[in-house]
Amino acid sequence: MNKKKVVVTGLGLITPVGSTVKDYWNSLLEGRSGVKRIQCFDPSKFSSQIAAEVLDFDPSEYLNPKEARKTDRFVQFAIAAAKKAATDSKLNLDAEDRNRIGVIIGSGIGGLHTVEAEYGKYIERGPEKGPSKISPFLIPMLIANMASGQVSIYLKVKGPNTAVVTACASGNHAIGDAFRIIQRSEANAMIAGGSEAAITIMGFGGFCSLRALSKRNDEPERASRPFDKDRDGFVMGEGAGVVILEELEHALKRDANIYCEIIGYGMSGDAYHMTAPDPEGDGAIRCMKICIDDAGLKPEDVDYINAHGTSTIYNDKVETLAIKKVFGEHAHKLAISSTKSVTGHLLGAAGGAETIACALAIKQDIAPPTINLENPDPECDLDYVPNKPRHMKINVVLSNSLGFGGHNATLAFKKYTS
């Protein structure tokens, strides 16, 4: 099959460290953490009391009040990020064949805010009167595919439309699947990424019960510390990251600004455990190798890896091991960083936001740092670009996302040259 070339032409996001591309990128480079004590509910009874919340989001900037009441926060994030990405791409939808533009936006959890609010009404009214208070919009507000569905409705695009639910790999899988659709010439452009808004009492409490979250409550901004010996868990975040992918010739015809080319996609399953990675890194190894082969690369062609890098004991150690096994001696020459050290872990939105970090790293030849890396773990002994950004030639980048359930997704990007 003659595969079409695919490029990234638009970026849009909502994050705890900025909801413009400029603010987000500057926060990454300056190491300005978005982690604070939780404000959306009282966390005092929880073992962890910190998260990376989006504190300045106003849905009325993107939706009218009636529409906002009928959409969960994760859908609002997705609509906002998609509109921003479309604007950034300067894609004139009125001049396009809308049947040839599609949407894939992933979410690991979906409408948890809606579930809790509606169940709260039921409990408050009791079993006799409670059912009458359940909103008829409950189901269409909570289902995870509604981010893709609503974005297609608001932007009036009618091409391939689906959703991905693969926990923390959702954003990467969504972008990878969109890449494949354009490669097969089934669409001219795709709106792709991830969105998540699960910082609720139940969502946060569930991760606390898993003992997955950092308890560094007295130093929130220093809590997310991937690859550091003193890491004690990840920091929950929220937001959305959405990109516009286009078939290269389509982008060139309209003289689009091209951030980078997407050239490879790999996915695999650990088949090991619900929440823990395979201790030998088998799934992550195969995923990266598949991606590298798909891109037509050699391991030594890769300059930078945006790591999954969650700041958990097992993930960081296993991801390091996997990188060593894939890249051999070249592993020690790679620049690797985890932008989750700044943003927290955006769960299903992580891959979307991190793809934007990769695109900007390539465009500007800067590797963003891993902040809070003060006491390196002896088992994490690669170059994680500690604490300060690095100006360097970046031609090829990999981005890893490794999710609960053993879902793995790796994307490859390279600098676009005409």
What pLDDT, in 10s, does the model give residues 87-126? 999 999 999 999 999 999 999 999 999 999 999 999 988 8
> What is the average pLDDT across 335-344?
98
pLDDT at residue 173 in the model? 98
pLDDT on residue 312? 97
SS3 376: strand
**Of 345, 358, 380, 407, which one is the catalytic site residue?**
345
Cα(72)–Cα(62) distance, integer angstroms: 13
Q: Is the pLDDT confidence value at 221 over 90?
A: yes
pLDDT at residue 87 in the model: 98
Distance in angstroms (rounded) separating the CA atoms of residues 328 and 299? 9
DSSP3 helix / strand / coil % (the chain, rounded to 5):
40, 20, 40
Report the pLDDT value the prediction gives residue 315, as an integer from 0 to 100: 97
**What are the structural domains of the chain?**
7-109+144-414 (3.40.47.10)
Question: Residue 418: what pLDDT?
Answer: 85
Question: Two tokens at 210?
Answer: 């898993």
Average pLDDT over residues 13-30: 98
From the list 289, 314, 324, the residue with the least C-alpha distance to 404 is: 314
H or E element in which residue 114 lies: helix 112-129
Catalytic choice (113, 168, 208, 287): 168
- pLDDT single digits (tens) 140-170: 999 999 999 999 999 999 999 999 999 999 9
> Does the pLDDT at position 45 exceed 70?
yes
Torsion of CA 178, 179, 184, 189, to 10 degrees: 70
Q: Per-residue pLDDT averaged across 62-75, rounded? A: 96
Q: Could you tell me if 218 and 198 are in contact, meaning their C-beta atoms sit under 8 angstroms apart?
A: no
User: What pLDDT is stored for residue 171 in this prediction?
Assistant: 98
Phi, psi of 37 (to 5 degrees): -60, 140
Rounded to 10 degrees, the C-alpha dihedral 403/352/22/90 comes to 180
Antiparallel, parallel or unpaired: β 304-306 and 396-403: parallel
Read off the pTM. 0.97
Q: Cα–Cα distances in Å, from 78 out to 18, 72, 100?
A: 15, 10, 20
Encode pLDDT of 256-283 as tens digits.
Answer: 999 999 999 999 999 999 999 999 999 9
Residue 167 to residue 345: CA distance in whole angstroms: 11
pLDDT at position 306 over 80: yes
Per the structure block, which two tokens stand in for 341? 């050290």
- The letter for the amino acid at 321 is L
Could you say which of 113, 173, 250, 308 is catalytic?
308
Structure tokens that stand for 293 in this block = 């082969």
- What was the pLDDT predicted at 1? 65
Active site residue 308: yes
Catalytic status, residue 345: yes
Q: Is 168 a catalytic residue?
A: yes
